[in-house]
Structure 1
Amino acid sequence: MGKKLVMAQKRGETRALCLGVAMVVCAVITYYILGTTVLPLYQKSVWTQESTCYLIETNIRDQEELEGKKVPQYPCLWVNVSAVGRWAVLYHTEDTRDQNQQCSYIPGSLDNYQTARADVEKVRAKFHEHRVFYCFSTTRENESSVLYRRLYGPQTLLFSLFWPTFLLTGGLLVIAMVKVNQSLSILAAQK
């Protein structure tokens, strides 16, 4: 009976150690992936200065209004604001600015024109409701654009690092508990 109990304990300890090591390895892999994807985007972001934006005008641009320029087949919202003492174009996020510099806001669903138009109208109405809001600007002198929301801010970085840290801590705790249990078993067997 005692030999079976010892063998069962060894199997359990081995499984627990494997679990702990797997958790630590997964956390390290996740840290590597985050370090090569999210961290460089956070470091390259120049939109660090929080400012107060005052709405100047909003305009919905359709395909017909932008003739001669290459634009997609969806309505887009163009927002002008006053921020940091100068006129600026408001972009929803960094990606919006990269996708189409003629649009401040690009609707989420582009399949149906009427749905996209309703989405743009809703966002436009919210801007007219709240004419003063916080936005993010850069410290560059010649930059004439600001962001409504940062994709790669400190909150995103902390949220991305929370679960790998939790996984690493849990794995190290499992390994430590198994090692403490093994040392206590050895002490008990010696007495």
Structure 2
Amino acid sequence: MTLSNSNPRHLPCALLRSQGIRCVVWFEDAIAHYGVPTAVFDLADGLSCNENKRLETPCMQYALSPPTQNSIRRAGELPGPTTTVLLRAEDWNFDLEQHCSPDTVIPPLAPLLDALIDSWLDSPDDNLMLRMHLGCMIAYLYGYAPELQQETFAAQLKKEHRQYHYDVRSEMTTGTAPFLNRQRQVREESRKAQQSIPKRDQA
């Protein structure tokens, strides 16, 4: 399978795609594509949760191993090989079926931002590290991705995230508990409003 992106870090994605498994790169690899000068660590791939059984195929020549605790490298010790971490796309609010292109492993910017915003809003109150990490990636995208500065970009986002976009663009203080609570309330009200709109008859 040929992908338009030739980054050797993305070879695991090409391997998964060759087995008919939809996937995209996630976290730092995804935002780096949009101009964020971030360091990359282990490769995180988002894939559909119903693909787990298909991963256990002998032609892949790789073994799945459960996550292990972080190990501490001793001074002077060379780093080990990059690990590929498989994540369920559903857990990160990303619709692979709709947004997975056969030509690239990079998620489109608007669906990526939608997923990160939803994940940030859904982050549990007892996991501040996750919340800070997600908030940092969102802030980096707003700081470095020129597409987010275009007036027309908001229309590409889900309606429930457009106020978030406008608030960030207006340089409102983000990352605080009041901002989080406000955005959660806005999202909830937007979802209720959309549910109350009657669906048109299907032709």
What is the TM-score with the length of structure 1 in the denominator? 0.20
Task: Name the structure with the higher strand share.
Answer: 1
What is the TM-score with the length of structure 2 in the denominator? 0.19
Larger radius of gyration: 1
Which structure is higher in RCO with an 8 Å CA cutoff and minimum separation 6?
1
